A and B are shown apart, each in its own frame.
Chain A
Amino acid sequence: MLHIIDIHKTFNPGTINEKAALNGVNFYLDDGDFCTVIGGNGAGKSTMLNAVAGVWPIDEGVILLDNKNITGVPEHKRAAYLGRVFQDPMTGTASTMEIQENLALAARRGKSRTLGWGITRQEKEKYRELLKMLELGLEERLTSKVGLLSGGQRQALTLFMATLQQPRLLLLDEHTAALDPKTAEKVLKVTDKIIAENHLTALMVTHNMKDAIAHGNRLIMMHEGKVILNISGEEKKKLTVADLMHQFEAASGEEFTNDKAILA
C-alpha cells in the first residue's frame, strides 16, 4: 500500500551545510503492516517520514500510496491520507485552543473547511465518549486549553487526533522520545491499542531497540540515508537486541555506537 522507490533528499545543496539525508531509500508496506524504524542519529529516519508526509519535495524517487503517485502532492493535501504524531509534544496540537476544538480540527482533516460550525453539539458528545478510551480523564476537560496538558497527555491527544479520522497510514516520529519512561510506556500502549482496533498501517520511528522489537510486525533499520535491514514475520518475532546490533554491524561495517539506543 505504501511504496517508497529510490528516494533521495539533500539539504542545503551546494553550501558548506550540504547534507545528503536520503540516499536511495527503498521499501514497501502491505495493508495492516505496523513497521518500526530504527537507526542511529542522522540515519535519515525522521527525514524519510517527513518525505512521506510531504513536508518538502524530495529530489528524486517515487512515493506511492495505494498505488497512487503522491510524490508531487503538497503536505496539506497529503494530510487527507496521513495521521501524524511528532517527537515534540508541542507540535501536534494547538495550545491556545480547547481540547474539543483541536479534536474538531482533526476530524475535518482532508475535508474542505466550510462556513458550517467548527464544532457541533453531537461532536462534543461523541468526543466525550471517545476520550474515555485514553483513560486520562480528558473527557471531563473538553473545554480546557490544550496548553494546560502535560507532554504525555498532549502526545496521547495528538495520537487520538491523528486517528480520529481514519488515516490510510499513521506516521509516528519518535513520539515517545520526549516523555519519561513510564508515560512513554503508557503512550505506546495506547498506540498499540489504536493501531490494532482500527487495523491501521503504521510507520513508527524510535530510538529504542527494545520498543522497535516489541511493537509491530515489521522492522527496518536505516543507516546513512539507506535501509540496511528489513525484517518481518517469524524472524521479527524472534529478534533480540543483541541480534539487531550484530546485524547492524554486519550490514553497515561499523560498530553500533549509539548509546541511547543500546542503553534504552
Chain B
Amino acid sequence: MSYFLTLNPLNLINALPGCIAQGLIWGIMALGVYVTFRLLNFADLTVDGSFATGGAVTVMLTLAGFPVPVALLIAVIAGLASGLITGLLHTSLGIPPILAGILTQIALYSVNLHIMDMSANKAISVQKYQLLISLMHVPGAILTGGIFAAFLIIILYWYFGTEQGSSIRATGCNPAMSKANGININFTKVLALSISNGIVCLAGGLMAQYQGFADINMGRGSIVIGLAAVIIGEVFGDALFRKHMNFALRMVFIVLGGVIYYIVVGIVLWLKLNSNDLKLFTALIVAIFLAVPYLQGKRRNSFLRTAKASEAALKAMNDREVN
C-alpha cells in the first residue's frame, strides 16, 4: 500500500511529453525497419550498428563545425553505405540475411568507435550548437519529430508507388515472379537495405541531438524497439481501420507505435521498475504483440473449439433421436 502512495500521477504526466518526443524518433527508426522487415521480407540486424553510426556521424560533424542539417544528411549517406554492405554480403557473397546483418552490425561497432575518436561517447551541447531537436525543449522536439516523420511518410508513400519502389515490394512478396518479370532482385534487395539504414541513421542522428550525446551503445537492441513499433502500430491500425488500412495509414500507425511503446516504457519507469530491466521488458512487449494476432487467429480456428462445437452437435443429434 505504501508503494502506491509513493506513485505520484503528476510525475507520470510530466514525463509523458518526453516519452512522446522519444517515441517519435523511434517511430522514424521503425519506418526504416518496416522497409526491410515487411516490404522486403528481410530481418535486417544491421540497424543496431547503424543507429549508433547515425548518432556518431551527426555529433562528430557538428562538433567539427558542419551545420547540423548537413551533418544529418551525411549521416544518412553513412546509413545508405552500411545498408549497401549488408546487401552485398547477402547478394554477392551468399551470406544468409540474419548473418549478413549481424556481420555489418559488429563491424560498425569498431567503425563507430573510430568515428568518435575512440571514445565511447561524445557530448554535444544544445547551448553551443544549433541542434534541431533537444530534450531541453520538449514541445519543440515533439514538433520537429512530427515534421520529420510526416515528411518521411510522404516521401516513402511516393517512392513505393513508383516503378522502382513497386519492384522492391514485388521482390519482398515473390522473388521468382519478380525475376520472371525482369526485376533484378539482387539490386532491389541492396537498394531496400540501403534506404532502410539511411532512415535508421537519420533517426540515430536525431536521437543523439535529442539526448545531447552520441553513445557507442545507443543502438543496442534498437531492432527490437523498431519491431515493437512496427508490430504495435500494425495491431492498433488493423484493429481501428480493418479493411480501410492503406499504406500511408500503416506508416502513420508505425510512428504512433513508437510513441505508444515509449509511453508504456514511461509508465513502467513511473511504476519504479528497475531501468536495468527495461530490455527484458521490451522483449516481453514485443513477444506479447507478436503473439496476439497469432493467438486471436488460433482461437477462431482451433481443434479445442471444434471439439466443443462437434460434441454439442453430436449431443443435439442424439437428443433428437431419443425424442
Q: Interface residues, chain A, CB within 8 Å of chain B?
A: 53, 75-77, 79-80, 82, 84, 86, 90-97, 101, 104-106, 108-111, 113-119, 161
Interface digits, B49-90 against A, CB 8 Å rule (1 contact, 0 not)? 000000000000000000000000000000000000000000
Contact assessment for B174 and A94 in the assembled complex, using a CB-CB cutoff below 8 Å: yes
Chain A: minimal CB distance from B190 (Å): 14
Contact assessment for B182 and A91 in the assembled complex, using a CB-CB cutoff below 8 Å: no
A residues within 8 A CB of B159? Answer: 115
Given contacts A96-B173, A97-B169, A97-B173, is CB(A115)–CB(B163) below 8 Å? yes
30 pairs, A vs B, C-beta closer than 8 Å: A53-B180, A76-B182, A82-B180, A84-B180, A86-B176, A86-B180, A90-B174, A91-B176, A91-B177, A93-B174, A94-B174, A94-B177, A94-B178, A95-B173, A95-B174, A97-B166, A97-B169, A97-B173, A104-B166, A105-B183, A113-B164, A113-B166, A113-B167, A113-B183, A114-B162, A114-B163, A116-B162, A117-B161, A118-B162, A119-B161
Contact assessment for A115 and B181 in the assembled complex, using a CB-CB cutoff below 8 Å: no
Residue of B nearest to A78 (CB): B182
Residue of A nearest to B169 (CB): A97
Chain A: minimal CB distance from B19 (Å): 33
Alpha-carbon separation in the docked complex, A97 to B167 (Å): 11
Tell which of A91, A110, A161 touches B174, judged by Cβ atoms closer than 8 Å.
A91
Given contacts A108-B163, A113-B164, is CB(A94)–CB(B170) below 8 Å? yes
Chain A: minimal CB distance from B89 (Å): 20
Residue of A nearest to B172 (CB): A96
B residues within 8 A CB of A104? Answer: 166
Tell me the interface secondary structure of chain A in the complex. Answer: loop
Contact assessment for A117 and B182 in the assembled complex, using a CB-CB cutoff below 8 Å: no
Given contacts A109-B182, A110-B182, is CB(A93)–CB(B163) below 8 Å? no
B residues within 8 A CB of A53? Answer: 180
B residues within 8 A CB of A161? Answer: 181
Chain B: minimal CB distance from A153 (Å): 16
B residues within 8 A CB of A116? Answer: 162-163
Alpha-carbon separation in the docked complex, A77 to B187 (Å): 13
B residues within 8 A CB of A94? Answer: 169-170, 173-174, 177-178
B185 at the interface (CB under 8 A from A): yes
B residues within 8 A CB of A95? Answer: 173-174
Residue of A nearest to B184 (CB): A76
Alpha-carbon separation in the docked complex, A109 to B163 (Å): 11
Alpha-carbon separation in the docked complex, A101 to B182 (Å): 15
Contact assessment for A76 and B179 in the assembled complex, using a CB-CB cutoff below 8 Å: yes
B residues within 8 A CB of A84? Answer: 180
Alpha-carbon separation in the docked complex, A30 to B179 (Å): 26
A residues within 8 A CB of B163? Answer: 108, 113-118
Residue of B nearest to A158 (CB): B177
Q: Which of B91-149 contact A (CB under 8 A)?
A: none
Alpha-carbon separation in the docked complex, A101 to B164 (Å): 13
Alpha-carbon separation in the docked complex, A80 to B185 (Å): 15
B17 at the interface (CB under 8 A from A): no
Tell which of A86, A93, A96, A115 touches B162, judged by Cβ atoms closer than 8 Å.
A115
Contact assessment for A93 and B164 in the assembled complex, using a CB-CB cutoff below 8 Å: no
Residue of A nearest to B168 (CB): A113
Contact assessment for A118 and B165 in the assembled complex, using a CB-CB cutoff below 8 Å: yes
Q: Which of B18-50 contact A (CB under 8 A)?
A: none
Interface digits, B178-202 against A, CB 8 Å rule (1 contact, 0 not)? 1111111100000000000000000
A residues within 8 A CB of B179? Answer: 75-76, 79
Contact assessment for A105 and B162 in the assembled complex, using a CB-CB cutoff below 8 Å: no
Alpha-carbon separation in the docked complex, A114 to B163 (Å): 6
Alpha-carbon separation in the docked complex, A121 to B176 (Å): 27
Alpha-carbon separation in the docked complex, A53 to B182 (Å): 11
Tell which of A80, A96, A114 touches B182, judged by Cβ atoms closer than 8 Å.
A80
Chain B: minimal CB distance from A47 (Å): 16
A residues within 8 A CB of B176? Answer: 86, 91
Contact assessment for B161 and A118 in the assembled complex, using a CB-CB cutoff below 8 Å: yes
Chain B: minimal CB distance from A125 (Å): 18
Alpha-carbon separation in the docked complex, A79 to B184 (Å): 10
Alpha-carbon separation in the docked complex, A136 to B169 (Å): 26
Q: What would 18 more interface pairs be, CB under 8 Å, given A79-B180, A161-B181?
A: A75-B180, A76-B179, A79-B181, A92-B177, A92-B180, A94-B170, A94-B173, A94-B174, A105-B167, A108-B163, A113-B162, A113-B166, A114-B163, A115-B164, A117-B161, A117-B162, A118-B165, A119-B166
Contact assessment for A118 and B166 in the assembled complex, using a CB-CB cutoff below 8 Å: yes
Contact assessment for B182 and A93 in the assembled complex, using a CB-CB cutoff below 8 Å: no
Chain A: minimal CB distance from B223 (Å): 23
Contact assessment for A105 and B170 in the assembled complex, using a CB-CB cutoff below 8 Å: yes
Tell which of B162, B165, B170, B182 touches A79, judged by Cβ atoms closer than 8 Å.
B182
Chain A: minimal CB distance from B92 (Å): 14
Chain A: minimal CB distance from B87 (Å): 16
Q: Give me the 4 closest cross-chain CB pairs, A-B, nearest first.
A: A118-B166, A79-B182, A94-B173, A113-B163
Residue of A nearest to B176 (CB): A91
